[in-house]
Amino acid sequence: MAQRQKVGLRKTNVGVRRRGKQRREALLRAAYDLLCDHSLEEIAFIDIADKAGIPEGSAYHFFANRYDVFMALSDDLSHKFADVVQQPIPAKANRDWQSLVRFQMEQIAALYNDTPPARKLLIGGTTPPVFQLQDRIKERRAGLVMYEVFDRLFELPKIPRPRDVFFYYVELTHYMFSLSVIKHDKIVKSMLEEAIRVGIAYLGTYLPDALPPKSNSA
């Protein structure tokens, strides 16, 4: 692989001027649009630059290569998942922690199904290893967010290394999503149910069947 196209090479000196930010955002939007219809392997850096209407030479001022664009886009997409998990929880979803697991999995699966680039970058079968490593970091953050949501709504028992536990919860359920995407190119209902079953079974080794709600939960 040419050095310039090395996976994991990141561009850090991208500038902060308004025109530069607009061009960088245009490249990210172009990559997003291309990923809606093409696989990662089919998209070259010049395709992204052409789609954005930016000369390839100028595009290299903002990203080291196509993998750098995809990595930055995956960073942006991961924030959407954090936003979904932190949205207000409806009453039917916080009556017990098992309902909360179902609600979280349904929301995340819907976002994946509505966002083809997220499926390809975060849980697809052809995701490069360096992306998978970065995804582990993102899922650890997601696990922390999940834990904070549970801790806000319920009186949790003492759990050894709770942040690790909820990270594993995210990993295990996302593995089921990944299997579904590899086979069906989306998260089908049956695999969503399997993810919910896995999540409840795993957390059930740490949580009792019933948890008292916190009085200040919303």
Calculate helix-pair angle for 45-52, 66-85, nearest 10 degrees. Answer: 70
Model confidence, pTM: 0.81
Pick 207 or 131 by higher pLDDT.
Answer: 207
Q: Give the chain's domains with CATH numbers.
A: 7-67 (1.10.10), 69-203 (1.10.357)
In angstroms, the Cα distances linking 36 to 109, 115, 167 are 17, 8, 28
User: Residue written as tokens 């903002």?
Assistant: 62
H helix intervals, 9-96: 18-37, 45-52, 56-59, 66-85
Range with the lowest mean pLDDT among 24-28, 31-35, 43-47, 142-146? 142-146
Using the Cα atoms of residue 29, residue 33, residue 38 and residue 39 in order, give the sign of their dihedral. Answer: positive
Residue positions counted in the chain: 218
148 vs 205: CA distance, rounded Å: 19
Q: Residue 74: its pLDDT value, please?
A: 87
Whether residue 28 is predicted with pLDDT greater than 60 in this model: the reply is: yes
Average pLDDT, the chain: 86
- State how far the Cα of 131 lies from the Cα of 35, in Å rounded to an integer: 15
**Could you tell me what percent of the chain has a pLDDT over 90?**
61
Residue 213, beta-bridge partner list: 154
- The distance of Cα 208 from the centroid of its chain, to the nearest Å, equals 29
Phi and psi of 213, rounded to 5°?
-70, 155
Local structure of 105: helix, strand or coil: helix
pLDDT over threshold 80, residue 14: no
What mean pLDDT do residues 152-170 have?
93
Is the confidence at residue 45, as pLDDT, over 60?
yes
Residues 170 and 137: beta-carbon distance below 8 Å: no
